[in-house]
Amino acid sequence: MKELILVQQKFEKGDYISPETIKDALGHEPTWHEQLSIWGTFARIYANEGVTVISHKEGIRFLTDSEALEYNTKGADTACRKLERHLYMLKNIDSSQLNSEEKNAHERSVQLNTFRIIGIDNAQKRLGTK
C-alpha cells in the first residue's frame, strides 16, 4: 500500500495534496478507486481531529475552519432536505402490501424520521432561521 507514505505525513488545515504528489507516492497515475480509497483514508483519520477533508481537483484538500463551516453547513442543509423527501416517500408506502414485520419496521421508520423533522423544525424556529 504505497499511499501509506502520504498517510504518515502530517497535514494541517488549508493544506492540499496535488494529483502529482499522489501520483509520485503511488508510482503511477491513480485509478478512480485508488483516489477514492486515499481520500477516504484521510477523511477517516482527520475526522477524529475535527478536520474536514474533501476531494478537490483530483487532489485532496484539508479545509480551513472558514471553508469547513461553509462546506458542512451546506451539507447539513442538503441532508435535512433529503430527509424530508425520504419521509414523504416513506409515508406514501402502501403498508397493506407489507408483511407484519415490514409493517412494524415501516411504522418505526416513519415515527423516527417524523421526530427528526420535528426536532429540526423546532431548532430552526428557535434560532429564527425558519
Domain ranges in the chain are 4-63, 73-127
pLDDT confidence band for 101 (50 / 70 / 90):
very high
CATH number of 4-63: 1.10.10.10
pLDDT confidence band for 15 (50 / 70 / 90):
very high
pLDDT digits (tens, 9 = 90+) for 69-100: 999 999 999 999 999 999 999 999 999 999 99
Whole-prediction pTM: 0.74
Q: What percent of the chain stands above pLDDT 90?
A: 73
Positive or negative, the CA dihedral 70, 71, 76, 82 is positive
Of the ranges 8-17, 35-44, 51-60, 108-117, the best mean pLDDT one:
108-117
Phi/psi region, residue 128 (left: phi>0; alpha: psi -120 to 50; beta: rest), is: left
Asked whether 63 and 51 are in contact (CB, 8 A), the reply is: yes
Produce one character per residue of 62-77: b if its CB has 16 or more CB atoms within 10 Å, e if not. Answer: bbeeeebeeeeeeeee
CA distance 38 to 56: 13
